[in-house]
């Protein structure tokens, strides 16, 4: 893996060019040879492929007026790419993104492009690490209130056991373990049973991350994600 230094001519570079992958990490910019990933056809990959296939079918099933609403409405949902540049989704990309969020929250899909909604702030506090008493307690607050706001669904995700030295896990490691609807209390959530049923039992010393975000029931937009680190301890 070779490192690169940018200049006034090239401020940043990411992506694949001529068999080389340009990227960056905490150590700076670097380039490596592209290696085609293997197709393991895992259960998770099959779920993702089925999801994309279902979304493509839903898009084709829209009326022309519905599709046009997504094409015209996409300008209201700008995003930043890996270089920090502001971009606009295509109509189908936005349709897929918002409806995928609704799938995560176990909510019905939407056919017409919505209007962007606002979100409350989210704070998450780890009350108790996993103990022999089988407790993993969280307090989650939304604008200071410990109940899921009306009009939103709370999605709680987690990773399986990761290295204790990891401080910022990749998004691909997170998997949904439970959701909670509007007005559900979030002042003392013990999620260990939901974790165990998704990933299996942890042993002493195992480290995991728990991540939470809100999905708006009307628009399908997802809030920023907030995570906290936990570990199974012996007491």
Q: Give the per-residue pLDDT at 146.
A: 95
170 and 84, same structural domain?
no
186 and 126, same structural domain?
yes
215 and 130, same structural domain?
yes
CATH number, domain with residue 151: 2.60.40.10
127/62 Cα distance (integer angstroms)? 46
Q: Give the per-residue pLDDT at 233.
A: 83
Q: What is the pLDDT along the chain (235 residues), one digit of tens a residue?
A: 555 556 555 555 666 665 666 656 555 555 666 665 555 555 544 544 455 568 888 999 999 999 999 999 999 999 998 788 899 999 999 999 999 999 989 999 999 999 999 999 999 999 888 776 788 999 999 999 999 999 999 999 999 999 988 998 999 999 999 999 989 999 989 999 999 999 998 888 899 999 999 999 999 999 999 999 999 887 6
Q: Give the per-residue pLDDT at 69.
A: 98
Classify residue 71 by its DSSP letter. Answer: H
163 and 189, same structural domain?
yes
> CB atoms < 10 A from the CB of 49, how many?
11
Backbone angles phi, psi at 166, to 5 degrees: -70, 130
Residue 54 lies in a domain: yes
The residue range of the domain holding 71 is 43-104
226 and 128, same structural domain?
yes
Task: Name residues whose C-beta falls within 8 Å of residue 203's C-beta, 6 or more positions apart in sequence.
Answer: 232
**Order of all β-strands in the sheet with 175-180:** 175-180, 152-158, 207-216, 226-231
221 and 129, same structural domain?
yes
Structure token digits, residue 36 = 């085609």
Task: Provide the domain count of the chain.
Answer: 3
48 and 20, same structural domain?
no
Residue 38 lies in a domain: no
Q: Give the per-residue pLDDT at 134.
A: 81
Place of tokens 């401080």: 167
215 and 127, same structural domain?
yes
The SS3 of residue 94 is helix
* DSSP for 47-67, written as a single string: HHHHHHHHHHHHHHTS-HHHH
């Amino acid at each position: 893996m070779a490192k690169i230094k940018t200049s006034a001519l090239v401020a940043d570079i990411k992506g694949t060019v001529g068999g080389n992958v340009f990227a960056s990490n905490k150590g700076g910019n670097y380039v490596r040879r592209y290696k085609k990933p293997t197709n393991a056809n895992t259960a998770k990959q099959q779920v993702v492929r089925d999801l994309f296939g279902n979304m493509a079918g839903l898009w084709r099933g829209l009326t022309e007026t519905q599709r046009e609403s997504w094409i015209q409405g996409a300008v209201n949902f700008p995003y930043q790419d890996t270089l920090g540049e502001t971009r606009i989704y295509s109509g189908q990309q936005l349709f897929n993104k918002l409806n995928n969020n609704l799938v995560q929250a176990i909510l019905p899909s939407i056919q017409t492009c919505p209007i962007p909604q606002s979100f409350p702030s989210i704070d998450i506090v780890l009350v108790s690490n996993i103990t022999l008493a089988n407790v993993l307690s969280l307090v989650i607050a939304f604008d200071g209130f410990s109940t899921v706001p009306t009009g939103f669904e709370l999605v709680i995700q987690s990773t399986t056991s990761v290295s204790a030295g990891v401080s910022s896990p990749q998004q691909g490691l997170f998997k949904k373990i439970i959701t909670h609807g509007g007005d559900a209390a979030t002042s003392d959530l013990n999620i260990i049973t939901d974790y165990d049923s998704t990933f299996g039992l942890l042993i002493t010393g195992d480290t995991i991350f728990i991540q939470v975000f809100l999905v708006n029931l009307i628009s399908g937009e997802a809030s920023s994600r907030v995570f906290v680190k936990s570990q199974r301890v012996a007491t």
